[in-house]
Amino acid sequence: MQVCIAGFKKGQLKILAHSFDRSLGGRDFDEVLFHHFSAKFKEEYKIDVSQNARACLRLRAACEKLKKVLSANPEAPLNIECLMDEKDVRGFIKREEFEQISAPILQCVKAPLEKALADAGLAVGDVHMVEVVGSASRIPSILKILTEFFGKEPRRTMNASECVGRGCALQCAILSPTFKVREFQVNESFPFPISLSWKGSVPDAQNGGAEQEQLVFPKGNPIPSVKAVTFHKTSSFSVDVQYSDVSDLQAPAKISTYTIGPFPTLRSEKPKLKVKVRLNLHGIVSVDSATLLEEEEVEVPVSKELAKEDAKMETDEKPNDTSAPGANETDVNMQDAKGTAEAAGVENGVPQSGDKPVQMETDTKVEAPKKKVKKTNVPVAELVYGAMLSGDLQKAVEKEFEMALQDRVMEETKDKKNAVEAYVYDMRNKLCDKYHDFVTASDKEELMAKLQETEDWLYEDGEDETKGVYIAKLEELKKQGDPIEERYKEYSERGTIIDQLAYCINSYREAAVSNDTKFDHIELAEKQKVLNECVEAEAWLREKKQQQDQLPKYATPVLLSADVRKKAEALDRFCRPIMMKPKPAKPATPEAPATPPHPGSEAQPQGANSPKASPNRNGDPSENVPAGSGEAPPASVEPMETDKPETTSAA
């Protein structure tokens, strides 16, 4: 039994408390009924069910069904045939009797409820809604206890048996980068307190090497979380990650052990080791890293230090112009220097702003040596109790791949077996229906006998065969069935393919004999080639079609759809380049240079601008005037159109 108190906001869920009882569940009610009827049958039928494993299994299964019946009915019977020693047993129980024998279990229901409320610091009235899930929550007596405890009737808005699986799937979708779900934040808390323990060092007089323990993650700590623990050690040491309280757990206290070191030691004081402990999103506690912090004294001349401070202070006193070059870099350097000074605990770090260089010169701590913190990563070795060794883990992974391969082979074998069975049934039906006219009587009888033989083999000797055997059996059947199927397929598709070829022949023939102007540029010899190709294709189709019409449907066809399709493609490949040949491009007429009009002539500019005027090479329209004319023609003279083709040809 688990009790969870959660706070809900829009798009957010926060776990406030969590409690449980390991010895309370739906299976315990089955055991109560099992012991009740076991004693009853021992008294009435003189049989001891506990001495027979098969009888125990059958009685437990019947008791589980009986519990479900009692959840919806006031009474229920129990009947089992040949339970033991070839004896049929019968029983009967009422819901009141069931609740009476289950009273010790029902008394344990309130304890997790009270514990969860106490951990959350809430009263019963602070709970707005109670939701029950789980198959055993359907027991009426449990609902009655919950109603009396909370003062409100529990709700059943979720599927009691599937909501946990659905919730896990939703959480996986939230964590997975593959799926996109609505934004929802889950603030989980860790239900167990976790602490670190280690042995004190030998030189410690006050500890004397005794075991020391520190609570790192208390109960209810948010998930995920990171804590930093500082140690003062001079050599390698071990840290144990363990449960602080194992009263509610059926597991050992120690979780893992981490060996930190080796690391270089200092001559004077104990080095400072900062250990980072992580509680990740999955509730697993581990030591992430260990860092050795050492303070080193760096000698810096006073004059240079003051010069640097003055330069930095002058930069700080300038206006805050973010567009000035180097302004951002200066701010970063100052912050870094300030952070280093704070980390080392030194007071003479670079001041922020407002301090004057004069104050820096009068500061008495300027002459002190500057300290710098040096960080060194320390190796960490992990030992998880109860976990598999690396070699065993690798063997398990290889075994998993091997089993996955076996599963895939079994799945493919099952598919091939189903394919053989489906082919037998499908071909048998088609031989009596669609394929009836496409197979001779003798071939049909032979194939039907083969199909019946294969069906009998599938349910007898071929029940559990390998994938290769089923493939061979299917190929053997298809050797006889494929020719029949091909003849039916050819008969069904032949008409459409022939119509396509006939349409192709007629289209190119009509285009070759057409008087359309778009085909005038094609030479007659080329058109004649197209006509000859169409005549040849038509003669071939007529001959093959006559031969095919004389054959029965069960005979091997002489006119195949593939051959007709190839003929149509060959005809199109030959005729298309000829009939789709583009027209030759017309040569462009060069533009005549513009000449100024003669003085006193008004008709020339009009003629030059007229769309019907076609100037000669000299650009003078007067040269196109017929002989014997003594004056220039007007701009709209019709003979200009007659002279236009000659002028264009000359150009």
Residues 427 and 292 in one domain: no
Task: Compute the chain's Rg from CA coordinates.
Answer: 49
What local confidence, expressed as pLDDT, does residue 298 receive?
61
pLDDT > 90? residue 29: yes
Domain span holding position 44: 2-175
Sign of the torsion formed by the C-alpha atoms of 115, 121, 124 and 129: negative
8 A C-beta contact, residue 451 and residue 481:
no
Q: Could you tell me if 216 and 114 lie in one domain?
A: no
Q: For the domain that residue 532 is a member of, what is the CATH number?
A: 1.20.1270.10
Out of 25-34, 196-205, 236-245, least confident range: 196-205
pLDDT at residue 608 in the model: 40
Please indicate, yes or no, if residue 480 is contained in any of the structural domains. Answer: yes
Distance CA 283, CA 189 (A): 9
Question: Tell me, what CATH number does 223's domain have?
Answer: 2.60.34.10
Instruction: For residues 166 and 39, state if they share a domain.
Output: yes
Segment 592-620 mean pLDDT: 45
Whether residue 642 is contained in a domain is answered as no
Do 476 and 576 sit in the same domain of this protein? yes
The predicted-structure confidence for 98-152, as pLDDT tens digits, reads as follows 999 999 999 999 999 999 999 999 999 999 999 999 888 889 999 999 999 999 9
163 & 212 share domain? no
What is the per-residue DSSP string for 523-542? -HHHHHHHHHHHHHHHHHHH
Can you tell me whether residue 132 is helix, strand or coil? coil
Q: How many domains does the chain have?
A: 3
Averaged pLDDT, 420-440: 92
pLDDT at 309: 44
Residues 196, 111 share a domain: no
pLDDT at 310: 45
Token duo for residue 595: 């000449």
Tokens, residue 312: 């930095």
CA geometry: angle at 73 spanning 68 and 76, to 5°? 75
User: What whole-number distance in Å separates Cα of residue 311 and Cα of residue 304?
Assistant: 11
Return the pLDDT at 100: 93
CA distance 256 to 284: 11
Residues 37 and 139 in one domain: yes
Quick: pLDDT tens for 63-83.
999 999 999 999 999 999 998
pLDDT of 201 strictly over 60: no
- How far is the C-alpha of 29 from the C-alpha of 137, rounded, in Å? 12
Rama region for 628: left / alpha / beta (φ>0; ψ in -120 to 50; rest): left
Are residues 168 and 267 located together in one domain of the fold? Answer: no
Query: Which of 548, 583, 618 marks a domain boundary?
Result: 583
State residue 388's pLDDT score: 83
* pLDDT of res. 294: 79
My answer on whether 471 and 522 are in the same domain is yes
Q: What is the mean pLDDT of residues 244-259?
A: 85
| Same structural domain, 138 and 197 | no
Q: For residues 219 and 119, is the Cβ–Cβ distance under 8 A? A: yes
Closest CA to 243 of 189, 191, 193: 193
Give the tens place of pLDDT for each residue, 510-528.
Answer: 998 888 888 888 888 998 9
CA distances from 28 to 35, 63, 118, 506 (A): 11, 11, 26, 86
Confidence tier at 607 by pLDDT (50, 70, 90): very low
Query: Does residue 28 belong to any structural domain of this protein?
Result: yes
Q: What is the pLDDT of residues 456-502, one digit of tens each?
A: 999 888 888 999 999 999 999 999 999 999 999 999 999 999 999 99
Which residue among 151, 175, 199 closes a domain?
175
Q: What is the pLDDT of residue 613?
A: 40
Residues 443 and 546 placed together within one structural domain of the fold: yes
Whether 310 is in a domain gets the answer no
Lookup: tokens for 225: 């979380």
The whole-number pLDDT of residue 271 equals 76
pLDDT at 645 exceeding the cut of 80: no
What is each CA distance from 63 to 36, 53, 140, 206, 507, in whole angstroms? 10, 15, 17, 63, 82
CB contact set of 40 (below 8 Å; sequence gap of 6+): 91
Of 248-252, 451-455, 523-527, 573-577, the poorest mean pLDDT is in 248-252
pTM to 2 decimal places: 0.53
Residue 347 has pLDDT above 50, yes or no: no
Residue 220 pLDDT level (bands cut at 50, 70, 90): confident
* Residue 341 forms part of a structural domain: no
Whether 334 is covered by a domain: the verdict is no
% the chain with pLDDT above 70: 76
How far apart are alpha carbons 468 and 466 in whole angstroms? 6
Long-range contacts of 540-549, Cβ-Cβ distance < 8 Å, separation of 24 or more: 540/567, 541/498, 541/501, 541/502, 541/505, 541/567, 545/498, 548/494
CA end-to-end distance (rounded Å), the chain: 105
Q: Which one of 269, 297, 325 terminates a domain?
A: 297
Confidence at residue 498, expressed as pLDDT on a 0 to 100 scale? 93
pLDDT exceeding 90 applies to what percent of the chain?
47
Residue 234 exposed, middle or buried by CB count within 10 Å (0-12, 13-18, 19+): middle
pLDDT for residue 8: 92
Find the range with the poorest average confidence among 212-226, 590-604, 607-621.
607-621
Q: Are residues 213 and 292 in the same domain?
A: yes
Output the CA angle 145-147-150, nearest 5 degrees: 105
Tokens of 84: 């033991």
- Domain assignment present for residue 371? The answer is no
At residue 258, the pLDDT reads: 92
* 145 part of a folded domain: yes
Strand, helix or coil for residue 204: coil
**pLDDT confidence of residue 232:** 85
Residue 583 has pLDDT above 60, yes or no: yes
Q: Per mean pLDDT, which range of 314-318, 414-418, 518-522, 526-530 is the poorest?
A: 314-318
Q: Any residues with CB less than 8 A from the CB of 205 and at least 6 apart, and which?
A: none
